[in-house]
Amino acid sequence: MPQDRPLHATVTFSGATPAALALEATRHHQAMGTLMDHRAAGMDAEAALDEVEREIARLERLLSRFDPASEISRVNAAAGRGPQPVSPDTFEILTIARRCAARTRGRYDPTAGPLAALWRAASLPAPPDRATLLRARALVNWRDLLLDAHRGTAALRRPGQSLDLGGIGKGYAADRLRALYARRGIVSACSSLGGNVLAVGERPGGGPWRVGIQHPRAEGELIGAIEIVDGTVVTSGDYRRYATTPDGRRHHHIVDPRTGQPAESGLAGVTVVGECSTEADALATALFVAGRRRAARMLAGYPGAEAVLVERTLDIWITPGLLGRFLPAAGGTVRLLE
């Protein structure tokens, strides 16, 4: 299965003073199954990016379901057998994940691990058969994620259940980086974590950061861009990871937890703009599963969040708060989602 491709964080330094440029630092590395890029400006920029890499590695050790020693793997291994002590970070992300699942009526569900395991192969001999899908689907229910704040524990109610934080983990990492930049006194930074882009303040030369949104059907091209100051831009799409069966059918990785099948909502991509990257990550997945006609109602539960919806027909819909901030590619037609 192809790696997640990072969004284009197109950063322009025109107008920056030589001093600002001299204090700029950049970093590129691979973590959490994706390529990451970070840019920061300030007296402590290099040290901040050193800490960024360490922080992301630390979070991956806590949250990766592919690491058998991670806290998430321990909770999964103990499913149906009782609670496991977890760190404050793991407890916090699970609390947010459970809240987002409730708000989205299960269109985002952190307990979808059994379904993710069925669809993650790079090349499927055939789609999972109906009986296998039904068994996996029966194990998915966010209400079975049990959290005890007093004891600092997490548990899954039934054997065979498993957590998958792939739809929210990089968002949580972005929120932790925001706090890190603040502690370091960094007031201008941009971190791209796969489909999650965190913008801190303005770009060093002044003015908004410009985050490009990949065209869902044209490799290496953009369908548009968003201008943002001090916020987050998160994209989920059917082009990011997918499996192909021998008959040539493509099955993307965004599974509808309610059906067990890759979501068929008519959308090719969803981009959410907001303040909290963790919630924006879960919301982008949920909106993709829900489709355009249900999007406005779901967004109402997330005050301050804005969205760009790209249908498979390549029609583009944006929420009113992005008027003047979303810049379509040449020739693109944009409609207002209300």
pLDDT, tens digit (0-9, with 9 covering 90-100), for 174-207: 999 999 999 999 999 999 998 899 999 999 989 9
Same domain for 50 and 81, yes or no, is no
- 1 domain residue, yes or no: no
Please give the share of the chain, as a percent, with pLDDT higher than 90.
Answer: 76
Could you read off the pLDDT of 36-52 as tens digits, one per residue?
A: 999 999 999 999 999 99
Question: Which long-range contacts link 201-205 to residues 24+ away (Cβ below 8 Å)?
Answer: 201/229, 201/230, 202/229, 202/230, 203/11, 203/12, 203/13, 203/16, 204/13, 204/16, 204/20, 204/21, 204/24, 204/41, 205/12, 205/13, 205/14, 205/15, 205/16, 205/20
Q: What is the pLDDT of residues 281-333, one digit of tens each?
A: 999 999 999 999 999 999 998 999 999 999 999 999 999 999 999 999 976 78
Residues 212 and 140 in one domain: no
Among 110, 129, 156, the domain-final residue is 156
Residue 76 falls within a domain, yes or no? Answer: yes
Residue 185 belongs to domain with CATH number: 3.10.520.10
Q: Are residues 117 and 209 in the same domain?
A: no
Same domain, 250 and 131: no
Which domain-ending residue is among 122, 156, 190? 156
In a domain? residue 161:
no
Out of 156, 181, 214, pick the residue that ends a domain. 156
Q: Are residues 114 and 18 in the same domain?
A: no
Each residue's pLDDT tens digit, 232-273: 999 998 876 656 656 566 667 789 999 998 888 999 999 999
Mean of the per-residue pLDDT values of the chain: 89
Domain count, the chain: 2
Same domain, 179 and 35: yes
